[in-house]
């Protein structure tokens, strides 16, 4: 009797056997996607990882594909291998200069230790629920130590780095690697608090500008005083070396200011009458001293 005849005589038995084999095969073999890693759980304990994340492996050359597990005794917990987003609800933060800020932030993370993640949280959704308050606490702790103006300056990158470091330290307990932390928005509340804050910031900047201007004027006076002293010393030295040339030079300067013939901006328009033998015109007339 052939196998075909046996099937024809007992079709229900063979159909049941085929279904059992199919169910056994489906319970044994599983296709692991490239973007997923699977924690194999046996009697409530993780025993191994399929397609585990490894930063040294190129995408497409990991352990993805067909894999086997013990049917009915092992089940899988799927964990994403990609970089995931964590959006934090809007937080109220009080800065050191008493500004109440409304902060929207997000973090990017990756689960690099799915066994630790399973032991600490149980699933990806529970990881998100655990990380949200941690991110909010890190934001409040860091921004609460800074003035509001820091958020508008290059020092904001330092703030982000500190927040990322603090979050990464706690997230590691869940098998999570923090890739990045960013603040989408950090604004003052609308209405009178916003206007009051801007007025205070404006007054502070005006006072700072006045201080800088006053300091600049003080330094300018010091520099001008030193320059005048140096010039007087230079004039005195030149007078001691060549009194005749010094007398000639000073006379030429006086003539230029008085007659303003070669100056773009004349210094005066007064008219003076002098006799040709006046001592003031001695250098102008080419006479030597004493003539």
- pLDDT tens digit at each of 291 positions of the chain: 455 555 556 666 656 666 666 666 666 778 888 888 888 888 888 888 888 887 777 655 667 777 777 787 888 888 888 889 888 877 777 777 777 777 888 889 999 999 998 888 888 888 888 888 888 888 888 877 777 777 766 677 888 888 888 889 889 999 999 999 888 877 766 654 556 656 667 777 788 888 899 899 889 888 988 888 888 787 777 666 767 777 777 777 776 777 665 555 555 555 666 666 666 666 666 655 555
Q: Which residues pair with 30 in a beta bridge?
A: 67
- Token digits for 49? 């990882």
H or E segment to which residue 231 belongs? helix 192-241
Q: How far apart are CA 107 and CA 121, in angstroms?
A: 18
Distance between CA atoms of residues 62 and 49, nearest Å: 12
Sequence-ordered list of residues with C-beta below 8 angstroms from that of 95, at least 6 positions apart, any chain: 101, 143, 144, 146, 147, 148
Residue 110: per-residue pLDDT: 92
Q: What is the DSSP string of 83-147?
A: -EEEEPPPEEEE-TTS-EEEEEEEEEEEE--HHHHHHHTSSHHHHHHHHHHHHHHHHHHHHTTS-
pLDDT at site 288 = 58
Residues near 256 by Cβ (< 8 Å), separated by ≥ 6?
262, 263
Per the CB < 8 A criterion, the answer to whether 28 and 68 are in contact is yes
Per DSSP, which regions of 21-63 are E strands? Answer: 29-32, 36-42, 45-50
Question: Which structure tokens are listed for 150?
Answer: 């820091």
**CA–CA distance, 248 with 72 (Å, rounded to integer):** 115
Which residue's structure tokens are 């030597």? 288
Backbone angles phi, psi at 209, to 5 degrees: -65, -40
Q: Bridge partners of 65?
A: 32
Is 108 within 8 Å of 179 (Cβ atoms)? yes
Angstrom distance (rounded) from CA 171 to CA 2: 64
DSSP secondary structure code for residue 279 in this structure: G
> With 0-12 CB in 10 A as exposed, 13-18 as middle and 19+ as buried, what is 159?
buried
The confidence score (pLDDT) of residue 31 equals: 81
pLDDT digits (tens, 9 = 90+) for 114-161: 999 888 888 888 888 888 888 888 888 887 777 777 776 667 788 888
């Amino acid at each position: 009797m052939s196998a075909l005849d046996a099937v024809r005589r007992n079709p229900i038995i063979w159909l049941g056997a085929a279904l059992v084999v199919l169910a056994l095969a489906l319970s044994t073999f599983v296709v692991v996607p490239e973007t997923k890693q699977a924690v194999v759980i046996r009697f409530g304990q993780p025993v191994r990882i399929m397609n585990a994340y490894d930063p040294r492996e190129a995408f497409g050359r990991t352990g993805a594909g067909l894999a086997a597990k013990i049917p009915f005794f092992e089940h899988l917990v799927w964990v994403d291998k990609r970089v995931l987003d964590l959006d934090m609800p809007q937080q109220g933060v009080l800065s050191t200069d008493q500004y109440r800020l409304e902060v929207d932030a997000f973090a990017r993370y990756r689960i690099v230790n799915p066994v630790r993640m399973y032991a600490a949280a149980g699933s990806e959704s529970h990881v998100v629920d655990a990380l949200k308050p941690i991110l909010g606490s890190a934001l409040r702790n860091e921004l609460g130590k800074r003035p509001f103006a820091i958020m508008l300056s290059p020092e904001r990158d330092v703030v982000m780095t500190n927040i990322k470091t603090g979050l990464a330290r706690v997230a590691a307990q869940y098998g999570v690697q923090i890739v990045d932390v960013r603040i989408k928005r950090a604004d003052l509340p609308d209405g009178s608090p916003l206007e009051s804050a801007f007025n205070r910031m404006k007054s502070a900047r005006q006072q700072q500008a006045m201080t800088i201007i006053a300091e600049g004027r003080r330094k300018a006076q010091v520099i001008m005083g030193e320059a005048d002293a140096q010039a007087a010393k230079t004039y005195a030295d030149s007078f001691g070396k060549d009194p005749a040339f010094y007398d000639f030079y000073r006379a030429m300067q006086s003539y230029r200011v008085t007659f303003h013939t070669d100056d773009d901006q004349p210094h005066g328009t007064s008219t003076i009458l002098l006799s040709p033998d006046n001592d003031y015109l001695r250098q102008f007339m080419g006479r030597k001293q004493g003539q």
